[in-house]
Copies of this chain bind each other. A is one copy, B any other.
């Protein structure tokens, strides 16, 4: 393939080579298995791997209990996670102080894909995995999702398959390896290690796993609720060079998706230099004063605990519940646990436009109390409309209008996807990417909390922690589906 690479500024020759191979994989819809065969396998797994999930009172949980001193929900091993209280002060915010339940899981987990080359094309080892919070059962997941409790065996169950490859990653070729945050409204400073390793030695293919090309993963990602959150966040950290895809596309220059993904060096088309973006982030982290304090769950205000739920008094935001899970397809065959159940379906949207042909996403510097570093870069808007029904229209998030009133031809991407099903029960969001024409984009008053970032700048920032939040990372993964092999057989 002869292509002119225009890739993120930090890329080295080795990165270029990997970016090219990633592009190749994204362009491949039939890999070692055809897309139709993968779909048949997935359907079969979905009918086989069924979990029964029933809500139970907190008191009926096994090995989970209520701390008599604090009211926190804890596992009797002291591991996994706990549900505690958090006091938040944001003096300059619209709501200057509140208290809420929060999931505290200080351990850093691993979300990892093994990749391997077959017939010259990179394939990703994907697991069809059911989690108790999933609305539709089985989802396509990374090779490994493991908490430290998992891999130190605290749960007393079977070993996590393929975990050994990630214990000593330096033996293999590391394609991505970075700590990234999770939902800052629900998790207290939670991070996971997002890691992709290329292994040359033969890897046994276990039950429930298949090798997929990135092109196949992208097809499924465009469908409702098939690719899970953990897979999306890891995919977003790939050293992706959108330019590679565009150059190779048969329809390059023709259709929308191909053209909008043209990448560029920071000087050749990004609206702001990366230095300017970093200064803006520094300013947002300084001007937004956020103070959090962990507190006993029983002492939070505005929330009421019953036998089977902890709910906000206005029935907004989310509730804490307990569930019993019964399944034959997991490390342990049945268990109970607390979960977070969001109320209402959220909207998570990037507004994008092309400046001089270079795709830019309108990114928000967003405060969430669980972030380790005050602010992360978020989608243009992320909100749950039902939380706003009692508020005046002016309270709606900025750019909600552009997003909710987009004409069909402006919608580049739309799918209902779920957040992590191990902690969140039926946490569904409508992920969408709305394109404005360049004149409208240029005329938009972005205000101090939003900036236009070129896609390659987001890819650059994703090499580091603390920059792009988990919802933004999902949308970056969705943006990558727009290039590549969408229209090929």
Contact = CB atoms under 8 A, between A and B. Distances in A.
| Number of copies of this protein chain within its complex | 2
Main secondary structure of the interface of A (DSSP, over half): mixed
A384 to B, nearest CB: 29
Interface residues of A, number: 38
Contacts of A239: 275
Interface in A355-375: 372-373
B278 A464 contact: yes
A395 interface: no
A291 interface: yes
A401 to B, nearest CB: 27
A49 to B, nearest CB: 30
A107 B174 CA distance: 38
A136 interface: no
Nearest to A265: B12
B177 A279 contact: yes
Contacts of A278: 177-178, 463-464
A285 B463 contact: no
A296 interface: no
B10 A282 contact: no
A10 B285 contact: no
Contacts of A463: 275, 278
A14 interface: yes
Interface string A174-199: 10011100000000000001010000
Given A106-B291, A465-B373, A466-B465, A282 B179 contact: yes
A108 B286 contact: yes
Contacts of A269: none
Given A282-B178, A283-B169, A285-B179, A275 B373 contact: no
Please list the 5 inter-chain residue pairs (A to B) with the smallest Cβ-Cβ separation, ordered nearest first.
Answer: A177-B279, A177-B282, A12-B273, A12-B267, A108-B286
Interface of A: 9-10, 12-15, 106-108, 110, 148, 169, 174, 177-179, 193, 195, 239, 266-267, 273-275, 278-279, 282-283, 285-286, 289, 291, 372-373, 463-466
